[in-house]
Amino acid sequence: MTSYFDIVDGARPWQSVLDPSVMSDDLVRAGHQLADAAKVGDWPTVMSVLDNQSKWLVINQWRPGGTAWFTALHQAAWHGAPVDVARDLLDRGALRSLRDAKGRTAYDVAVEHASSPGLQRLLSPPRSRSSSRQIEALDARLAELIDGRIAGRLFEGDLRTVLRYPPVEILHELPGQRVWFPLPGKYGFHIELQNGSLEVKSWCGLVEGSGQTHLVTPDGSVLVDQGFV
């Protein structure tokens, strides 16, 4: 069964679309089912939805159209869920370093709500080898590259109203330090952290020879290959 969120080259997918009007009805419906169950702390239903709607859902997504960017792991922290629940979400790929719209990780939310010490320890994000300044610079350079590749091709106007780009911070926690960023129109970005810089491969599956590889550093990006795919 083909999924919009298929894994590419071993990289976990990132759910980027903010505007539900450009999502499929099935994705929106499944996303609301997951968010509704997590909001009330109904963990058996959360796991059931994740199991049964895997074609449409990724573990780190938030409510379609939602502005809080609360994932199931954030909700587990909010509710002070049993450690076993949080561990199950982490085993499914939930990210401790992913932040909500206020910049809070699940650990931050757990601390705010005085969750159990065991839950707080489990949700503590891994340390990054890069400084916060380096990560911020990479985020900015990556956004510039993505903007340049898709602006005017997929959406009109401000791309930030319809897309959330994958934050570099989460790459330190992902297997292989890589993420797959699929977009409508068969556009995609394969992003991998390499010694403090990013290798970014991008292409459009509908355009032959559209592939490009860029090396992204805190200072900018350089095209190092093109014409593939």
- What pLDDT is stored for residue 161 in this prediction? 86
Domain assignment present for 157: yes
State whether 40 and 105 are in the same domain: yes
Bridge partner list, 178: 192
Domain of residue 93, residue span: 19-123
State whether 112 and 149 are in the same domain: no
User: Tokens 């705010």 sit at which residue?
Assistant: 112
Q: How many domains does the chain have?
A: 2
Domain of 63, CATH number, reads 1.25.40.20
State whether 224 and 171 are in the same domain: yes
Report pLDDT digits (tens) over 63-120: 999 999 999 999 999 999 999 999 999 999 999 999 999 999 999 999 999 999 999 9
Domain assignment present for 7: no
DSSP structural state of residue 23:
S
State whether 100 and 31 are in the same domain: yes
Report pLDDT digits (tens) over 179-211: 999 988 788 999 999 999 999 999 998 888 999
User: Where is the domain boundary, 99, 123, 147?
Assistant: 123
Buried b (16+ CB within 10 A) or exposed e, 108-125: bbbbeeebeeebbebbeb
User: Where is the domain boundary, 101, 123, 145?
Assistant: 123
Domain assignment present for 31: yes
pLDDT over threshold 70, residue 28: yes
User: Where is the domain boundary, 77, 98, 123?
Assistant: 123
Helices (H) and strands (E) in the chain, counts: 7, 6
- What beta strand segments (E) does the chain contain? 12-13, 178-183, 187-194, 197-204, 211-217, 220-228
pLDDT over threshold 70, residue 22: yes
Domain assignment present for 223: yes
State whether 147 and 113 are in the same domain: no
Angle subtended at Cα 1 by Cα 200 and Cα 150, rounded to the nearest 5 degrees? 30
DSSP structural state of residue 115:
-
Bridge partner list, 211: 228
Contact 63, 32 (CB under 8 A): yes
State whether 95 and 150 are in the same domain: no
